[in-house]
Amino acid sequence: MQTASADEAHDEFFPVVPAPEDGSRWLAPTDLEQYLYRMSRTDNAYGYLRTLAVEGVYYPVRLDEAQEAGEDEHPMLTVPLPDGRTAAQVYTSGLLPRPHPHLVYEYASLGALAGILPDGVDILAVNAATPCEEYFSTTDDERETWLDLHHELFEPDGLGDRVVTRRTGAPPAGPLLHGLACGAHLCFQNGDAWNTPHWHGMGYRGEVERIADAWGVHGRDDWLTMQERLLTRDVSPWYWDFVLGARAALAGVRGGRVDPREWRDLVRSELRERARESGDAVDDPEFTGFVEHLCALVGEVLRYEARFRADGLLPPDGFVRTVAAWDIGRGSKMARWGRGARYATEAEMLAALERASGAAREAYGSWEEFSAGYVLGRCLHFDEEHFGTWYTDVLDAHHALAVDPESPWRTVPFAAA
């Protein structure tokens, strides 16, 4: 399997987070670790375990072993203890360290973990060497409790549709943070921290499968190609922005709202002019059908925008100038997915995120404009004017991002300083 070169070796294999020396309250990376910290300080091990049953955990694996493992194989690093027992280390998402060239983390629900712990493991060490550490035995009775809690509490799709923000370990204000924020719609959908540069996502195997299944990315070369296409806005059909650009041209001349008939006429005449300049037959049936498809797209855009205004996605007189955000937003996440799958180096991921920031700022003037462009692109791609979950799910993301006080839209200025 092609992977990025080991160009940034370091010794941050496992997190080491000291407790505050002055006895003050620890500021955890995310709400999850803050809650676990409270559980550990009040000796509420059962409440701690219930939280793990909801959220799941990540366990370390050597990269070469992870790559060679079969579908039903789950290699896991274990640690010998001074008293002769053996521990398995697991961590919650906010405490995962900077990705390492030779070590990855895999995700498991608490129920799955009960079945895949290697033989001979006596202790489950959760968030070891951090202020919210906790330790559990791995007896058969204990694992039965894990399974019971898993069946009671775990929902495969229950971790999404939420704004998650890191309070520590995030980059400072600047193009990198802005580029991370460009992927906020997808971070909300997946329940990921939008501002973490240390990406593990769904775990190594999950990230490899995610971009293979959804994007046809099966190695480093595929990732490099797809990342470039997204950042240059070459994945979405060119004619979406062609149609929107025709309206913008008319608005620049006429001012105010554009008559739909004039808009369609301009689309039709511009396409025919392009065809004549290229030497193509303007009366070709296939070309005529394409022209009419783009004219029909005018009506589709207008109907979506009317719904957007009714739902508060656009202001009363607002419209979408470009759907560039649809590729840019996915490009922001593709940079992180590629890192999680180890197809991208850290430097490549960071460069791609900064490019996403620049592309977004070139195309839009605010997060609200960016979001409307993203939503329209998603709807044109998937929804087919059904106004179903392809629309309502991202509408929910838009509204949550607009009001959450820790959302990037409330904390990251859109324009460059």
Q: What is the mean pLDDT of residues 271-284?
A: 83
Residue 1 binned pLDDT confidence (cut-offs 50, 70, 90): low
pLDDT digits (tens, 9 = 90+) for 252-261: 887 778 999 9
Averaged over 304-326, what is the pLDDT? 97
> pLDDT confidence of 3, banded at 50, 70, 90?
low
Distance CA 106, CA 88 (A): 13
**pLDDT > 70 fraction of the chain, expressed in percent and rounded:** 98
Please report the pLDDT score of residue 21 as a whole number.
Answer: 84
pLDDT at 149 over 90: yes
**pLDDT value at residue 256:** 76
Closest CA to 136 of 74, 7, 223, 49: 49
Strand order in the sheet with 86-90: 78-80, 86-90, 123-126, 134-137
With beta carbons less than 8 A apart as the criterion, state whether 368 and 387 touch.
no
What pLDDT is attached to residue 6?
Answer: 56
Please give the pLDDT value at position 278.
80
The predicted structure's pLDDT at residue 417 = 62
- The four Cα atoms 90, 91, 96, 100 give a dihedral, to 10 degrees, of 0
Q: Is the pLDDT of residue 2 over 80?
A: no
Q: 40: which 2 tokens? A: 């550990």
What is the model's pLDDT at position 398?
98
Mean pLDDT, the chain, whole residue set: 94
Closest CA to 152 of 37, 36, 52: 52
Report residue 76's pLDDT band, with 50, 70 and 90 as the boundaries.
very high
pLDDT at 112: 97
pLDDT digits (tens, 9 = 90+) for 319-354: 999 999 999 999 999 999 999 999 999 999 999 999
- Give residue 214's pLDDT band: very low, low, confident or very high (50, 70, 90): very high
Q: Angle CA(123)–CA(138)–CA(27) in degrees, nearest 5? A: 55
Which pLDDT score is estimated for 280?
A: 75
Is residue 147 pLDDT above 90, yes or no?
yes
pLDDT of 292 > 70? The answer is yes
Confidence of residue 416 (pLDDT cuts 50, 70, 90): confident
CA 44 from chain centre, in angstroms, equals 32
What is the reported pLDDT for 205?
A: 97
Calpha distance 106→96 (Å, rounded): 11
Q: Residue 197: is its pLDDT beyond 80?
A: yes
pLDDT at 146 over 80: yes
Structure tokens at 407: 């959302």
Exposed e or buried b for every residue in 248-285, given b needs 16+ CB within 10 A?
eebeeeeeeebeeeebbebbbebbbeebeeeeeeeeee
Report pLDDT for 257.
84
Q: How far apart are the first and last CA of the chain?
A: 42
